[in-house]
Amino acid sequence: MLKSTDTFNLRGDPALFVGGDWIEADDREEIELINPATEDVIGLVPVATARDVKAAISAADAAFRSWRGTLPITRSNILRKAATIMRENAEGMAQTLSREQGKIIAEARLEVQTVADLFDWFAEECRRSYGRVVESRVEGVKLHVVQEPVGPVAAFCTWNFPGLVPARKIGAAVAAGCSIVVKAAEETPGTAVHIVQALEAAGLPAGVVNLLFGNPAEISTILVDAPEIRMITLTGSTRVGKLLAKQAAATMKPAIFELGGHNPVIVFEDADIEKAVAHSAAAKFRNAGQVCLAPDRFFVHEDVHDAFVDRMVEYASELAVGEGVKDGIHMGALTNRARLDEVTRLVDNAVAKGAKLCFGGARIGNRGYFYSPTVLTDVPDEADIMQIEPFGPVAPVQKFRSLDDAIARSNSLRFGLASYVFSSSIQKIDETAAALEAGLVGANTCAVSHHEGPLGGVKESGYGREGSIEGLRAYQITKLVAHNVLS
């Protein structure tokens, strides 16, 4: 393990990490790594073979046998050391993240800091994984309830938060005493490589964390079917979640699914409009709208609708859009061409069906995946954007009259990840929050993701929770030991 005075420079070159060894491409296939702001090829990502995946499973299984018995303080110290290493290399990590994913450098720096803070959180939480002793109704029998690691984990990560998404899974698994095989996103490999390098430098034993890139369907099939893998966790689309849930059910593997949403925002007539726009617009256009918790459907009371829209348009018009690593930029590029094409399609579909384009509505330039911050009003229910998560910088707005109307529209879809409400009435906020079908509710704020609080959805937005004590317990089993002390 590195001493506190040692330094370690992280590099984000794409590579696989299996059983403590970094594996370059050699004779493997490679995927081009594209900078979304320039469309330049900036690297090549090695594609894991079936043999690589099986080797990662074997490494995780072997490492778990010893790692599960380590003291919580040992796990805690390694997580803390990794967090320190990441902070020492924060700028390089942020530059890699921004260049590969497209988000602005300020958001990338914040994400790196959040990853380090998350590791610190689990470093503390793993020391507080308490069991309990229960008095039984049988004389002389003591009931001991203990928490144990579930076993080797398979984790599947999306590209929109290439640091935070894998860190939530790795931090919790390592803290709980599990080993883990991470299938990270090929679009944004560098940040995951940085995280694993920091753990390696911090003294994490070989095989506890393994990192793969490649064909998602092929890798997931091998991982989920493997008997050595005891749990799966996915942050991704509802479509993929359903496929993995069906596959996991065949071997009764527990799972955490943090899936897609289509998050409503309710703005009541008594809301502070300036603050409502400031919070919801910042959340809407953050990471070019590529955030699972982003506000997606805006329901604004008819009495304040026009004022809200005017201020939203003003906010959108003031955003400087450009390459994320440059100074003075407020919003970067979409991460890939597919997202640019889908956002364009959704806006065009809405306008064709009668929506009013108040601002934006077009690609910016002809190089890079940039799309203008966009505001739509009078959006009909039958427009695709009211049914499909846009995952882009588009704010569709509808009017409503009554609380019941707003609740009905908010709960009308099969998703239930996050919901937001803005009002000056505590009673109205409490009533609305209770009625909304969502795993997270923000009241006069859109900041609902916290290390200290659980994160996850309901309905087709998934099940299980990440973060908080629930996020640690998800990687543990609860075992009962009944001890007859009289025999």
Q: Convert 436-473 to b/e letters by CB count within 10 Å (16 or more is b).
A: bbbbbbbbeebebbebeebbbbebbbbbbbbbbebbbb
Instruction: Out of 126, 157, 178, 292, pick the active-site residue.
Output: 292
CA dist 168 and 236 (Å) reads: 14
Q: Which residues contact 71 (CB under 8 A, 6 or more apart)?
A: none
Provide the greatest CA pair distance for the chain: 80
Q: Which two tokens stand for residue 334?
A: 């979409």
Residue 292 annotated as catalytic: yes
CA dist 221 and 50 (Å) reads: 10
Instruction: Out of 107, 187, 258, 342, pick the active-site residue.
Output: 258
Residue 358 annotated as catalytic: no
Q: Is 459 left (phi over 0), alpha (psi -120 to 50) or beta?
A: left
CA distances from 186 to 46, 99, 122, 160, 291 (A): 9, 14, 26, 11, 18
DSSP 285: H
> Which residue in 130, 110, 22, 117 sits closest to 79, CA to CA?
117
Which stretch of DSSP H or E encloses residue 72? helix 72-88
CA dist 148 and 480 (Å) reads: 11
Answer whether 424's CB lies under 8 Å from 273's CB.
Answer: no
* Phi, psi for 402 (deg, rounded to 5): -120, 160
Catalytic residues: 258, 292
